[in-house]
Chains A and B, each alone.
Chain A
Amino acid sequence: MTPKVSIYHVFWMLLGGVFVFAVISSATAVWLTSRPFLVEAQREAADVYVEREATEIDQRIEPVLSLSEYIASEPNLVSFVVGNAITADQTLDRLDDLALPQGLRKVYFFDFLAEEIAGYEAPRQQAQIGPAVSRKLKDKASELARRAMVSAGPRANWISAPEAEQQGPGHILIAVPVMNRGLPEGAVVAIADLIPGLGRSGEAQMGAPFRILKTDTTAVRLAEHSAVLSVSDLSVVLKPDLSIVSRVGQELVSSTMIAVAGALFVPFAAFGWAGRRTILKPHADLEASRNMLREQQKELGELAAIARKAEEGILITDLDENIVWSNPAFSRMTGYRPEELVGKRPGALLQGADTDPMEVDQIRMALASLEPVRVELLNYSKLGFPYWARISIAPLFDEHSKPYGYMSISSDVSERKAQETRLREAREAIEHQALHDELTGLANRRRFNAVFEKRTRMAGLADTSVIRVDLDHFKNVNDTMGHEAGDHVLCEVAKILREEVSTDDLPVRIGGDEFIILLAPGVDLRQACSVAENIRERIVRPIVYEGKQILTGASFGIASSGCGLVDAAELVRAADTALYAAKSAGRNQVAVYDAKLHHSAIETRDTAELIRIGLDRDEFVPFYQPQFDAQTRRIVGVEVLARWKQPDMGTLAPSAFLDVADQLSLLTRLDKMVTQRALSDIKFLEDSGMPVPKVAFNVTANRIADPELVQLIASQNFRDTRVSFEILESVFLDDRQEYLDFALDLIQDEGLQIEIDDFGSGHASMISLMQVNPDVLKIDQRLVLGAPDSDVCRDMVRSIIDISRSLGIAVTAEGVETEAHADLMMEMGCSTLQGYHFAQPLSFEDLQEFMKNHQPRPVSESGSGDSPVSAGPA
Chain B
Amino acid sequence: MTDTPRKNFWSGLGVATVSVVLITWIIPTYGGSGFAFGLPPQLLATLGAWLMLACAAALSIVSFITLKRDGKPLIAFPEFGHFWHQTWPFLYVLAFIVLVDRFPLTWTAPFMIGALLLILGERRWHVVVLSSIIPAAGLYGLTAHLMRIGVV
Interaction A to B: no
